[in-house]
Amino acid sequence: MTAEVKAQSSSEILLQETGVLETGDASLSSSGILYDEYTFEGSAGIPIRINWSSEEFPANLILLDSGYSILAIIAANGELIQEAGDSAIQNLETRPTATGASAGFSLSQPGMYRVIIAAPDAASDGQYSLSVVTETAP
C-alpha cells in the first residue's frame, strides 16, 4: 500500500466577523444606507479571499486602502461594480455564492486595508458574516 501525499495550502484568517446592520450603525451620507467597517493587515503578493454573506439582505462589499481610496466595490451577487484604475489589487476575480459572494485577489503593497459591508438601500438591515483569509503554498 502506498500513501499519497497531496500538497496542502495553508491559510491564515485575517478577519472573521458575524455582524448586524441595524439602526444606530454608521450610514452613508444622507442616503441612510447602513454599513459596518473592518480592517485587516495585508501582505504584498499573497493571495487573499474575502467571503461575505447574508440571508437577510443582499450585502455589498467595499474594499478600501488605509487612505480610504476605493479599490473595489462588489455587489451581493458577485458583480464587480467598480475597480481602482491603478494596480493596488491584482488578479481580482469575483463570484456569487449561495447567500453572498466571494472575491479573490492579491495586493501589490503591504499595509492596512478596510472592508465595508453595506446594505443596498436604507430599508435593508440584518445579520451577515464576513471572512478575510490568505492562502499560501506549503
| Exposure class string for 41-63: b at 16+ Cβ within 10 A, else e | ebeeeebbbbbbbbeebbbbbbb
- Tell me, yes or no, whether 1 lies in a domain: no
SS3 42: strand
From first to last of the 138 residues of the chain, give the pLDDT tens digit: 444 544 455 789 999 999 999 999 999 887 899 999 999 999 999 999 999 999 999 999 999 999 999 999 999 999 999 998 777 899 999 999 999 999 999 999 999 999 999 999 999 999 999 999 997 765
Per the CB < 8 A criterion, the answer to whether 33 and 10 are in contact is no
Structural domains counted in the chain: 1
Residues 75, 98: Cα–Cα separation, whole Å: 14
Please indicate, yes or no, if residue 66 is contained in any of the structural domains.
yes
Q: Name the residue among 76, 84, 81 with its Cα closest to residue 121.
A: 76
Q: Which CATH number goes with the domain that contains 63?
A: 2.60.120.380
